[in-house]
Amino acid sequence: MVKVAIIGATGQVGSYAAHAISQIPQIKEVTLFGRDGNQQYLEGLSRDLVDSFAARGTNTRISWSCDEKDLRGSDIIILTSGVARKADQSRLDLAVENGKIVASFAEKIGRTASEALLLIISNPVDIMTAVALKYSGLPPHRVFGLGTHLDSMRLKSCIAEFFNVHVSEVHTRIIGEHGDTMVPLWSATTIGGIQINNLPAFSHLPKDKIMERVKTSGSLIIRSKGSTVYGPGDAIATVVRTIVEDEHRILTVSAFIKKEVHDIGSVCIGVPARITRGGVFPVPIKLPDDELEAFRNSTETIRNVTRQVFEALEERE
Ligand SMILES: NC(=O)c1ccc[n+]([C@@H]2O[C@H](COP(=O)([O-])OP(=O)(O)OC[C@H]3O[C@@H](n4cnc5c(N)ncnc54)[C@H](O)[C@@H]3O)[C@@H](O)[C@H]2O)c1
Ligand SMILES: O=C(O)C[C@H](O)C(=O)O
């Protein structure tokens, strides 16, 4: 049975993720982890979740803590702490501020829960994954971020709507930055198992418009209702279920790549990765030239900002 801790559980994404993952039968206990001063909120949140579980017939145990010692024994730690962007900000604008928060939690995790798998949600998620990897000291296959999984789901629903098919018939992925330079893999997109460009209607698919919608989904939701909650929360639950059931599904998460995508490496970025109980393993792939060039451009953006954040964090030390 599995024990999961959510750091940043008092936030919008952390609290809904706690609800979503608690429906996974193998999860025995979820610990809501928050900052000192948030005890009252955490007690209220845990009571609210316990009521929900009773109503649903869910057997997961809920606990809460502000003490890093209680991270010990966690199989999976989900890190959602950090500031969220305003609708007119880029996720990259949060890099230094959230880098400090993520580095500090990563150090705690390295000290107390070095056997855990660490799933990063805080934005900009690719860069925060690199920060968590460096400051936790955990091996690369046990530190990964939500990456472009949510973007891939957004693209999937747009394609399903256009072709008027069930979402489960659409397989697609977006790789690269969880941000403006993300790269849709049309070459890896199928509907009902058929390569999308072999479908006559593909020539009418408004690809640019769809990608604009995917890229601006987060800011539109933030402008409309303050934050994105259900999309990320359920995307997190999918990743966690894939881990605990050792499914070996291939999801597009932010992982440290060495040479899996042509010769590009030494960066944490959204790539297809096999997700197992033991960790996350990027799948070696070859891309057509246009997608490769776009991915290279995306990795350069992430690499540059990661470098700047590492420099800022070194000044802190
Ligand atoms: N990767 C994704 O797909 C994705 C999706 C949604 C949100 N996010 C990111 O997740 C993060 C949380 O989003 P949210 O909507 O839950 O925000 P929120 O403001 O509702 O919650 C923020 C959480 O971080 C904690 N926190 C804030 N500043 C802190 C600090 N200095 N030290 C320790 N803890 C601190 C808060 O206590 C709270 O628990 C943001 O960075 C957001 O951009 C990522
Ligand atoms: O857009 C955001 O800032 C939140 C998150 O990254 C999202 O894509 O929903």
Is 122 part of any known ligand binding site?
A: yes
Nearest residue by C-alpha to atom 2 in ligand 2: 218
Nearest residue by C-alpha to atom 31 in ligand 1: 101
Enumerate residue ranges in the chain where pLDDT < 50. none
Residue 178 designated active-site: yes
Q: Where does CATH 3.40.50.720 sit in the chain? A: 2-145
Q: Which pLDDT does position 97 carry in this prediction?
A: 98
Residue 159 to residues 63, 104, 149, 238, 250, Cα–Cα distance (Å): 40, 40, 15, 20, 20
| 47-70 CB burial, b ≥16 within 10 A, e <16 | eebeeebeeeebebebebbeebeb
How does pLDDT run across 185-219, given as a tens digit for each residue?
Answer: 999 999 999 999 999 999 999 999 999 999 999 99
Does residue 272 have its Cβ closer than 6 Å to ligand 1?
no
Ligand nearest to the CA of 18: 1
**Catalytic hit among 171, 178, 204, 262:** 178
Q: Where does CATH 3.90.110.10 sit in the chain? A: 149-306
Task: Give the domain 2-145 fold.
Answer: Rossmann fold (3.40.50)
Find out whether 242 and 275 touch, Cβ atoms under 8 Å.
yes
Q: Which pLDDT does position 86 carry in this prediction?
A: 96
Q: Which pLDDT does position 315 carry in this prediction?
A: 87
Does residue 178 have its Cβ closer than 6 Å to ligand 1?
yes
Does residue 11 have its Cβ closer than 6 Å to ligand 1?
yes
Q: Which pLDDT does position 316 carry in this prediction?
A: 73
The CATH code of domain 149-306 reads 3.90.110.10
Find out whether 275 and 237 touch, Cβ atoms under 8 Å.
no
Of the candidates 213, 202, 197, 217, the one whose C-alpha atom is nearest the C-alpha of residue 163 is: 202
Ligand nearest to the CA of 179: 2
Q: Which pLDDT does position 127 carry in this prediction?
A: 98
Return the ligand 1 atom nearest residue 149 CA: 3
Write down the H helix ranges in the chain: 12-21, 39-56, 95-112, 125-136, 149-163, 207-225, 230-244, 289-316
Nearest residue by C-alpha to atom 9 in ligand 2: 218
Beta partners for 272?
A: 252
Is 173 part of any known ligand binding site?
A: no
Q: Which pLDDT does position 317 carry in this prediction?
A: 64
